[in-house]
Amino acid sequence: MNTLSITLIETAPATSGGHHHPEISFDLRIDGEPHPGFAGLSIDPGAFVESHDDGEFFVATCGCGVPDCAGVFDGVTVIHDATHVHWKIPEPYALADGALQPEPMTYAEFSFNADEYHQQLAGVVAALQGVAQREEAGEQFSIEANAGISAFRILKWGLGGTTASR
Ligand SMILES: [Zn+2]
């Protein structure tokens, strides 16, 4: 059994040069630590929210939002059963320039308590709703990984509500 947590990080805007809006990113930890295979990548909260269903999700992606750009060609395989949510993360997750995925592929495997997983999903949805409300009130943000684009789309389509209510 493993634990997973994902939290919103808000960085204050630079006072001179650089970005002038708060930066929003997400910090994902497995067993309390960032996953080593995700180092240097950005967490896409929209992809995480979509993982309330089984499938393959690019939970960690390039800072620009395009997984291929960071050498990520296979996402995290997510499988739900009655009590647990199972993750298979390819190793390596991001391939170095010109490197080929080893054959057969190898994976790091994790199993999370399903209730705790759904709490994390609901927490991300709530965090994004908070950002969306502040945006509607006129605040502007820089959001890592184009993460906001898929996340806000999900919020607008109401998928988040499905997640929060399980
Ligand atoms: Zn990129």
Instruction: Indicate the pLDDT class of residue 140, thresholds 50, 70 and 90.
Output: confident
Instruction: Indicate the pLDDT class of residue 149, thresholds 50, 70 and 90.
Output: low
Please give the angle made by the CA atoms of 78, 89 and 8, to the nearest 5 degrees: 75
Question: Is residue 80 exposed (0-12), middle (13-18) or buried (19+ Cβ within 10 Å)?
Answer: middle
Give me ligand 1 centre to Cα 119, in Å. 30
Spatial contact of 75 and 46, defined as CB atoms under 8 Å apart: no
* Residue boundaries of the structural domains of the chain: 4-159
Dump pLDDT digits (tens) for 26-78.
999 999 999 999 999 999 988 999 999 999 999 999 988 889 999 999 999 99
Give me ligand 1 centre to Cα 85, in Å. 29
Spatial contact of 47 and 58, defined as CB atoms under 8 Å apart: yes
pLDDT given for residue 166 in this prediction: 37
Please give the angle made by the CA atoms of 31, 146 and 59, to the nearest 5 degrees: 30
For the entire predicted model, the pTM comes to: 0.85
Instruction: Indicate the pLDDT class of residue 96, thresholds 50, 70 and 90.
Output: confident
pLDDT given for residue 155 in this prediction: 60
Of 99 and 112, the one with more pLDDT: 112
Give me ligand 1 centre to Cα 68, in Å. 8
% the chain with pLDDT above 70: 84
